[in-house]
Amino acid sequence: MSILDNFTAISWQMIVMWAIGAILIYLAIAKEMEPALLLPMGFGAILVNLPFSGALMQTYAGTLEEGVIDLLYNVGIANELFPLLLFIGIGAMIDFGPLLSNPKMLLFGAAAQFGIFFTLGMAVLLGFDIRNAASIAIIGAADGPTSIFVANYYMSKYVGAIIVAAYSYMALVPIVQPPVIKMITTKKERLIRMPYKPASVSKSVRILFPIVVTVIAGIAAPRSVALVGFLMFGNLIRECGVLAALSQTAQNALANLITLLLGLSVAAKMRADLFVNRETIMILALGLVAFIFDTVGGVMFAKFLNLFSKNKINPMIGAAGISAFPMSARVVHKMGQDEDKQNFLLMHAVGANVSGQIASVIAGGMILSLIAR
Amino acid sequence: MFDVQGLVSTFPIMVKGMAGVFSVIIVIWISIVLMIKIFK
């Protein structure tokens, strides 16, 4: 095979993928949007879309040769290993203290999963079969590992587009959420102050919490037990107090390494022939719908609670129930400060935000339980 | 072409899914409250 053959094998779809790869690398470096993931994904998108790329499985002179990206995909994503290992790191990073000291924030985490189920209906309406619709809807979990886990469980051929959409919108939360929140709240509502009076939380509660959540979620949605379990195991490592070094390793080395491998592995599904099509554009649009309706669900639920509550809740807190941690909590806090410099919503928002992390995994489990593979 | 029939048949899953998430979350909420009361 000559160099000229390689040149002539370049298709316009490959060039589109190079451009997408370049955009992802640009967003990672120049805008610092989820750089640990978008950079390897962007580079991987270019790597697998070179003609006769040796990074993918190829037949050379009648012999089948396995490419490293396919190999990584098969050992890390096809069997759901990477997303689960990443959850140990994420669990070790999360301090559930603000939630434990104000547990009613859990409700906002549940309400802000509305976008998942709304998008499920929209994806079916647009002609996706129920399994692919479920895989697309889970973009609304605003949680990369859960999206990968569910899309892979249903063996969705759109897994590449789903992961790109999930991580891109998570990075774009500061752009997506504020206009939606402003559209459905009044200035008076955004000015509501919420005094922060946390209940004290003992170490025993912090240790028991991840175990209890695993048992409850595991009984309610057994298929999600691996997801919840690994997330909570990471948190148990953090809270037990005797595994400080392991906790640091999980939060840093393990999470970084798995994110790097995950980003490169996903590129296996970013081949031009799988990615450059009408469905990818529809998936990106549906992902945006999911994030918007997650936000709407959380905010409207807070407004609903205010109908019965003496101590009014700033409805913006509901928007932090989306799982994109800690971006969403920061967005809500900043919006509160923009309206009133003396309004400190951060701790409430963090409580809602970490509850979103739990609720999104439970929502993923519900999807797995309700829709057969 | 929109699959309205498909959307209608998805409604029970959407409702059950949302109800399921709220049910589990409420059980976790009650558990936290109980744990905080027991292990002050």
pLDDT of res. A373: 84
Residue A295: which of A128, A170, A168, A130 has the closest Cα?
A: A170
CA atoms of A98 and A189, how far apart (whole Å): 23
CA atoms of A140 and A122, how far apart (whole Å): 12
List chain A residues with CB under 8 Å of B28.
106, 212-213, 216-217, 358
H-run or E-run covering A64:
strand A63-65
User: How close is the nearest chain A Cα to the Cα of B3, in Å?
Assistant: 5
CA atoms of B34 and A28, how far apart (whole Å): 44
pLDDT of res. B40: 78
3-state secondary structure A293-345: HHHHHHHHHHHHHHCCCCCCCCCHHHHCCCCCCCHHHHHHHHHHHHHCCCCCC
Q: Is A110 on the interface with B (CB under 8 A)?
A: yes
Query: Which residues in B16-38 are b (16+ Cβ under 10 Å) and which e?
Result: ebbebbbebbebbbebbeebbee
**Could you tell me which residues of chain B have a Cβ less than 8 Å from any Cβ in chain A?**
1-4, 6-7, 9-11, 13-18, 20-29, 31-33, 35-36, 39-40
Residues in CB range of A7: below 8 A, 6 or more apart: A51
CA atoms of A150 and A370, how far apart (whole Å): 12
pLDDT of res. A1: 64
Instruction: Return per-residue pLDDT of chain A as tens, 373 residues.
Output: 677 888 888 899 999 999 999 999 998 899 888 788 889 989 999 999 998 888 887 777 777 788 898 899 889 888 889 989 999 999 999 999 888 998 989 999 999 999 999 999 999 999 999 999 999 999 998 888 899 889 989 989 898 889 888 888 888 888 899 999 999 999 999 999 988 887 788 999 999 999 999 999 999 888 878 989 999 999 999 999 999 999 999 999 999 999 999 888 888 888 888 888 899 999 999 999 999 999 999 999 999 999 998 889 999 999 999 988 888 999 999 999 998 888 889 999 999 999 999 999 999 999 999 998 8
Prediction ipTM score = 0.94
**How many residues in chain B?**
40
User: How close is the nearest chain B Cα to the Cα of A93, in Å?
Assistant: 20
pLDDT of res. A274: 83
pLDDT of res. A221: 84
Contact A127 B2 (CB under 8 A): yes
Single-letter amino acid code for the residue at A270: M
Which residues make beta-bridge pairs with A295?
none
Whether residue A255 contacts residue A93, with contact meaning beta carbons closer than 8 Å, is answered with: yes
Q: Is A231 on the interface with B (CB under 8 A)?
A: no
Residues in CB range of A38: below 8 A, 6 or more apart: A24, A25, A27, A28, A167, A168, A171, A263
User: How close is the nearest chain A Cα to the Cα of B6, in Å?
Assistant: 6
The tokens describing B34, both together, are 């109980």
Single-letter amino acid code for the residue at B22: F
pLDDT of res. A271: 87
Does residue B15 carry a pLDDT above 80? yes
The tokens describing B40, both together, are 């002050």
Mean pLDDT of chain A: 90
